[in-house]
Amino acid sequence: MTLPHERLHEGAHDRLGHLRGNDDWEAERWLDPSTRVLVVAGTRISSPLTWLSPAEAPEGRRVLLGERDGRAYFAVIVSRDHADDSWLPLRSVLPELVGATDALAPLVFHAIGMAEWLAATRFCPRCGGPLVMQSSGHELACSDGHVQFPRSDPAVIMLITHGEPGSSDEVALLGRKGEWPDGRFSTLAGFCEPGESLEDAVRREVAEEAGVRVGAVQYVGNQPWPLPASLMLGFTGVALDLDINTDAEELDEARWFTREDLLRGAKAGDLLLPGEVSISRSLIEGWVGQPLPGSW
Protein backbone atom coordinates (compact mmCIF):
# COMPACT_ATOMS: atom_id res chain seq x y z
CA MET A 1 0.00 0.00 0.00
CA THR A 2 1.29 3.46 -0.88
CA LEU A 3 0.96 5.84 2.06
CA PRO A 4 -0.21 9.40 1.24
CA HIS A 5 3.20 11.05 1.79
CA GLU A 6 4.92 8.42 -0.38
CA ARG A 7 3.26 9.80 -3.51
CA LEU A 8 5.88 12.56 -3.43
CA HIS A 9 8.72 10.07 -3.66
CA GLU A 10 7.65 7.40 -6.13
CA GLY A 11 10.09 6.64 -8.94
CA ALA A 12 13.31 8.14 -7.56
CA HIS A 13 15.76 9.43 -10.16
CA ASP A 14 19.23 8.01 -10.76
CA ARG A 15 21.52 10.48 -8.98
CA LEU A 16 24.53 9.48 -11.16
CA GLY A 17 27.02 9.76 -8.32
CA HIS A 18 29.71 8.11 -10.43
CA LEU A 19 29.48 10.94 -12.99
CA ARG A 20 29.72 13.86 -10.59
CA GLY A 21 32.79 15.89 -11.50
CA ASN A 22 32.96 14.47 -15.02
CA ASP A 23 33.16 17.84 -16.79
CA ASP A 24 33.07 16.42 -20.32
CA TRP A 25 29.93 14.37 -19.71
CA GLU A 26 28.25 17.26 -17.90
CA ALA A 27 29.09 19.71 -20.71
CA GLU A 28 27.64 17.32 -23.27
CA ARG A 29 24.39 16.91 -21.38
CA TRP A 30 24.15 20.66 -20.80
CA LEU A 31 24.16 21.13 -24.57
CA ASP A 32 21.38 18.57 -25.00
CA PRO A 33 18.10 20.47 -25.58
CA SER A 34 16.16 17.64 -23.90
CA THR A 35 17.94 18.31 -20.58
CA ARG A 36 15.78 20.06 -18.00
CA VAL A 37 16.77 22.67 -15.42
CA LEU A 38 15.03 23.85 -12.26
CA VAL A 39 15.99 27.38 -11.22
CA VAL A 40 16.13 27.92 -7.46
CA ALA A 41 16.28 31.53 -6.29
CA GLY A 42 17.89 31.32 -2.88
CA THR A 43 15.69 28.47 -1.67
CA ARG A 44 12.53 29.41 -3.60
CA ILE A 45 11.09 27.98 -6.80
CA SER A 46 8.66 29.34 -9.35
CA SER A 47 4.95 28.65 -9.06
CA PRO A 48 3.63 27.13 -11.20
CA LEU A 49 6.65 24.86 -11.22
CA THR A 50 8.67 25.37 -14.42
CA TRP A 51 11.48 23.27 -15.89
CA LEU A 52 13.65 25.09 -18.44
CA SER A 53 16.04 23.99 -21.16
CA PRO A 54 19.73 24.77 -20.50
CA ALA A 55 19.57 27.55 -23.10
CA GLU A 56 16.77 29.24 -21.11
CA ALA A 57 18.45 28.91 -17.71
CA PRO A 58 20.22 31.89 -16.11
CA GLU A 59 23.82 31.84 -14.93
CA GLY A 60 24.20 30.43 -11.43
CA ARG A 61 25.59 27.60 -9.34
CA ARG A 62 24.93 24.46 -11.34
CA VAL A 63 24.07 21.24 -9.49
CA LEU A 64 23.64 17.87 -11.21
CA LEU A 65 20.46 16.22 -9.95
CA GLY A 66 20.64 13.08 -12.08
CA GLU A 67 18.73 11.27 -14.76
CA ARG A 68 15.21 9.99 -15.23
CA ASP A 69 13.86 8.16 -18.28
CA GLY A 70 17.02 8.94 -20.22
CA ARG A 71 16.84 12.71 -19.59
CA ALA A 72 19.35 14.67 -17.50
CA TYR A 73 18.18 17.10 -14.81
CA PHE A 74 20.05 19.98 -13.21
CA ALA A 75 19.35 22.73 -10.72
CA VAL A 76 20.73 26.23 -11.16
CA ILE A 77 20.85 28.16 -7.92
CA VAL A 78 20.73 31.94 -8.25
CA SER A 79 20.33 34.90 -5.91
CA ARG A 80 17.06 35.42 -4.06
CA ASP A 81 16.85 38.73 -5.96
CA HIS A 82 16.02 36.72 -9.10
CA ALA A 83 12.61 35.86 -7.69
CA ASP A 84 9.45 37.94 -7.51
CA ASP A 85 6.45 37.37 -5.25
CA SER A 86 5.26 34.41 -7.35
CA TRP A 87 8.31 32.37 -6.26
CA LEU A 88 7.55 30.32 -3.17
CA PRO A 89 9.34 28.17 -0.58
CA LEU A 90 8.99 24.42 -0.92
CA ARG A 91 6.32 24.10 1.77
CA SER A 92 4.00 26.38 -0.20
CA VAL A 93 4.25 24.37 -3.43
CA LEU A 94 3.85 20.91 -1.88
CA PRO A 95 0.18 20.66 -2.97
CA GLU A 96 1.27 21.39 -6.54
CA LEU A 97 3.85 18.60 -6.35
CA VAL A 98 1.28 16.12 -5.05
CA GLY A 99 -0.87 16.75 -8.09
CA ALA A 100 2.01 16.57 -10.56
CA THR A 101 1.59 14.02 -13.33
CA ASP A 102 5.27 13.86 -14.31
CA ALA A 103 6.43 12.43 -10.94
CA LEU A 104 9.32 14.88 -10.70
CA ALA A 105 8.81 15.66 -7.01
CA PRO A 106 11.96 13.73 -5.88
CA LEU A 107 14.03 15.92 -8.20
CA VAL A 108 12.49 19.05 -6.68
CA PHE A 109 13.23 17.82 -3.16
CA HIS A 110 16.82 17.08 -4.22
CA ALA A 111 17.22 20.56 -5.70
CA ILE A 112 15.77 22.38 -2.69
CA GLY A 113 17.83 20.29 -0.27
CA MET A 114 21.01 21.21 -2.13
CA ALA A 115 20.02 24.88 -2.25
CA GLU A 116 19.35 24.91 1.49
CA TRP A 117 22.74 23.28 2.15
CA LEU A 118 24.63 25.68 -0.10
CA ALA A 119 22.88 28.67 1.49
CA ALA A 120 23.86 27.54 4.99
CA THR A 121 27.38 26.26 4.26
CA ARG A 122 29.42 29.27 3.23
CA PHE A 123 32.70 28.85 5.13
CA CYS A 124 34.81 25.92 6.20
CA PRO A 125 33.88 24.92 9.77
CA ARG A 126 37.47 23.85 10.45
CA CYS A 127 39.53 26.81 9.21
CA GLY A 128 36.93 29.47 8.35
CA GLY A 129 38.15 29.71 4.76
CA PRO A 130 35.88 30.21 1.75
CA LEU A 131 34.45 27.13 0.06
CA VAL A 132 34.42 26.21 -3.62
CA MET A 133 31.92 23.85 -5.28
CA GLN A 134 33.15 20.61 -6.76
CA SER A 135 31.75 17.18 -7.68
CA SER A 136 28.87 18.75 -9.66
CA GLY A 137 27.78 20.74 -6.63
CA HIS A 138 27.73 17.89 -4.10
CA GLU A 139 30.96 18.84 -2.34
CA LEU A 140 32.41 22.08 -1.00
CA ALA A 141 36.16 22.38 -0.41
CA CYS A 142 38.43 25.02 1.11
CA SER A 143 42.01 25.81 0.05
CA ASP A 144 43.34 23.57 2.84
CA GLY A 145 41.53 20.57 1.36
CA HIS A 146 38.79 20.23 3.96
CA VAL A 147 35.72 18.86 2.18
CA GLN A 148 32.12 19.38 3.26
CA PHE A 149 29.25 17.14 2.19
CA PRO A 150 25.47 17.65 2.29
CA ARG A 151 23.91 16.47 5.52
CA SER A 152 20.41 15.40 6.51
CA ASP A 153 19.46 15.66 10.18
CA PRO A 154 17.54 12.60 11.47
CA ALA A 155 14.27 13.56 13.11
CA VAL A 156 11.75 11.17 14.65
CA ILE A 157 8.01 11.69 14.21
CA MET A 158 5.67 9.38 16.07
CA LEU A 159 2.10 8.38 16.75
CA ILE A 160 1.82 7.18 20.34
CA THR A 161 -1.17 5.05 21.31
CA HIS A 162 -2.61 3.52 24.48
CA GLY A 163 -5.17 0.76 24.93
CA GLU A 164 -6.14 -2.49 23.30
CA PRO A 165 -5.08 -2.27 19.61
CA GLY A 166 -8.10 -1.85 17.35
CA SER A 167 -10.57 -1.35 20.17
CA SER A 168 -12.94 1.60 20.41
CA ASP A 169 -11.18 2.66 23.61
CA GLU A 170 -7.71 2.83 22.04
CA VAL A 171 -6.43 6.42 21.92
CA ALA A 172 -3.67 8.28 20.09
CA LEU A 173 -1.62 11.22 21.36
CA LEU A 174 -1.54 14.47 19.37
CA GLY A 175 -0.21 17.87 20.36
CA ARG A 176 -0.36 21.49 19.29
CA LYS A 177 2.00 24.44 19.54
CA GLY A 178 0.93 27.75 20.99
CA GLU A 179 1.43 29.66 17.73
CA TRP A 180 -0.89 27.34 15.80
CA PRO A 181 -4.55 28.23 15.19
CA ASP A 182 -7.16 26.67 17.45
CA GLY A 183 -7.97 23.11 16.46
CA ARG A 184 -4.65 22.35 14.71
CA PHE A 185 -3.04 19.16 16.04
CA SER A 186 -0.25 16.89 14.86
CA THR A 187 1.89 13.97 15.91
CA LEU A 188 4.89 14.71 18.13
CA ALA A 189 8.36 15.00 16.62
CA GLY A 190 11.94 15.90 17.47
CA PHE A 191 15.58 15.53 16.50
CA CYS A 192 17.80 12.58 17.32
CA GLU A 193 20.73 13.51 19.57
CA PRO A 194 24.35 12.27 19.24
CA GLY A 195 24.85 8.73 20.49
CA GLU A 196 21.10 8.09 20.69
CA SER A 197 19.13 5.34 18.97
CA LEU A 198 16.03 6.34 17.05
CA GLU A 199 13.80 4.38 19.40
CA ASP A 200 15.27 6.14 22.43
CA ALA A 201 14.81 9.48 20.67
CA VAL A 202 11.10 8.68 20.32
CA ARG A 203 10.81 7.90 24.03
CA ARG A 204 12.80 10.97 25.10
CA GLU A 205 10.96 13.43 22.87
CA VAL A 206 7.51 12.22 23.95
CA ALA A 207 8.56 12.38 27.61
CA GLU A 208 10.02 15.86 27.19
CA GLU A 209 7.11 17.33 25.26
CA ALA A 210 4.09 15.60 26.77
CA GLY A 211 5.37 13.87 29.91
CA VAL A 212 4.15 10.50 28.57
CA ARG A 213 6.24 7.38 29.17
CA VAL A 214 6.62 5.14 26.09
CA GLY A 215 7.50 1.45 25.99
CA ALA A 216 7.54 -0.49 22.70
CA VAL A 217 8.48 1.50 19.59
CA GLN A 218 8.15 0.32 15.98
CA TYR A 219 9.53 1.85 12.77
CA VAL A 220 6.99 2.65 10.01
CA GLY A 221 8.67 4.61 7.23
CA ASN A 222 10.54 7.78 6.35
CA GLN A 223 10.23 11.00 4.38
CA PRO A 224 12.87 13.44 3.09
CA TRP A 225 11.99 16.88 4.42
CA PRO A 226 14.47 19.53 3.21
CA LEU A 227 12.94 22.28 5.36
CA PRO A 228 15.79 22.92 5.68
CA ALA A 229 17.63 19.58 5.99
CA SER A 230 15.73 16.82 7.77
CA LEU A 231 14.97 13.17 7.20
CA MET A 232 11.73 12.39 9.01
CA LEU A 233 11.68 8.86 10.43
CA GLY A 234 8.18 7.70 11.29
CA PHE A 235 7.38 5.46 14.26
CA THR A 236 4.50 4.19 16.32
CA GLY A 237 4.86 3.70 20.04
CA VAL A 238 2.88 2.34 22.97
CA ALA A 239 2.34 4.57 26.02
CA LEU A 240 2.75 3.01 29.45
CA ASP A 241 0.08 5.26 30.97
CA LEU A 242 -2.29 8.10 30.10
CA ASP A 243 -0.71 10.80 32.26
CA ILE A 244 0.08 14.00 30.33
CA ASN A 245 2.33 16.77 31.61
CA THR A 246 3.18 19.12 28.73
CA ASP A 247 6.29 21.28 28.52
CA ALA A 248 4.94 24.78 27.83
CA GLU A 249 8.02 25.64 25.77
CA GLU A 250 7.39 22.69 23.44
CA LEU A 251 3.60 22.28 23.32
CA ASP A 252 0.63 24.38 24.26
CA GLU A 253 -1.55 21.29 24.60
CA ALA A 254 -1.46 17.50 24.20
CA ARG A 255 -4.56 15.30 24.11
CA TRP A 256 -5.63 11.69 23.67
CA PHE A 257 -8.02 11.09 20.75
CA THR A 258 -10.11 8.04 19.92
CA ARG A 259 -10.64 7.14 16.27
CA GLU A 260 -14.18 8.48 16.57
CA ASP A 261 -12.83 11.78 17.95
CA LEU A 262 -10.59 12.18 14.91
CA LEU A 263 -13.30 11.26 12.42
CA ARG A 264 -15.90 13.49 14.00
CA GLY A 265 -13.55 16.46 14.47
CA ALA A 266 -12.09 16.24 10.95
CA LYS A 267 -15.53 16.01 9.32
CA ALA A 268 -16.83 18.95 11.35
CA GLY A 269 -13.74 21.04 10.59
CA ASP A 270 -13.06 21.53 14.30
CA LEU A 271 -9.89 19.44 14.08
CA LEU A 272 -7.17 20.45 11.61
CA LEU A 273 -4.68 17.70 10.80
CA PRO A 274 -1.41 17.81 8.82
CA GLY A 275 -1.62 17.87 5.02
CA GLU A 276 -1.56 14.68 2.99
CA VAL A 277 2.04 15.24 1.89
CA SER A 278 3.27 14.73 5.45
CA ILE A 279 4.27 11.43 7.01
CA SER A 280 2.40 12.70 10.07
CA ARG A 281 -0.83 12.40 8.11
CA SER A 282 0.11 8.87 7.03
CA LEU A 283 0.72 7.83 10.63
CA ILE A 284 -2.64 9.21 11.75
CA GLU A 285 -4.66 7.78 8.86
CA GLY A 286 -2.87 4.44 9.16
CA TRP A 287 -4.04 4.20 12.75
CA VAL A 288 -7.58 5.39 12.02
CA GLY A 289 -7.80 2.94 9.12
CA GLN A 290 -9.19 5.34 6.52
CA PRO A 291 -8.54 8.73 4.90
CA LEU A 292 -9.63 11.77 6.86
CA PRO A 293 -11.12 14.98 5.42
CA GLY A 294 -9.54 18.39 5.75
CA SER A 295 -5.98 19.51 6.46
CA TRP A 296 -3.94 22.52 7.51
Q: What are phi and psi of 270, to 5 degrees?
A: -80, -20
Q: Are residues 101 and 117 in the same domain?
A: yes
Asked if the structure places residue 296 within a domain, the reply is no
Share the mean pLDDT of the chain. Answer: 93
Asked if the structure places residue 295 within a domain, the reply is no
Q: Are residues 76 and 185 in the same domain?
A: no
The answer to whether 186 and 271 have CB atoms below 8 angstroms apart is no
Length of the chain equals: 296
Distance CA 214, CA 172 (A): 12
Range of the domain at 227: 153-288
Q: Are residues 118 and 187 in the same domain?
A: no
Q: Are residues 68 and 24 in the same domain?
A: yes
pLDDT digits (tens, 9 = 90+) for 244-295: 999 888 899 999 999 999 999 999 999 999 988 899 999 999 999 999 998 7
Q: Are residues 8 and 54 in the same domain?
A: yes
pLDDT digits (tens, 9 = 90+) for 182-218: 999 999 999 999 999 999 999 999 999 999 999 999 9
Domain boundary among 102, 128, 148: 148
CATH number at residue 112: 3.90.79.20
Distance CA 42, CA 254 (A): 36
Q: Are residues 104 and 205 in the same domain?
A: no
Confidence of residue 142 (pLDDT cuts 50, 70, 90): very high
Q: Are residues 18 and 85 in the same domain?
A: yes
Scored b (16 or more CB within 10 A) or e, 249-269 reads ebbebbebbbbeebbebbeee
Q: Are residues 138 and 180 in the same domain?
A: no
Average pLDDT over residues 20-47: 96
Average pLDDT over residues 61-84: 96
- What pLDDT does 97 receive? 80
Q: Are residues 210 and 117 in the same domain?
A: no
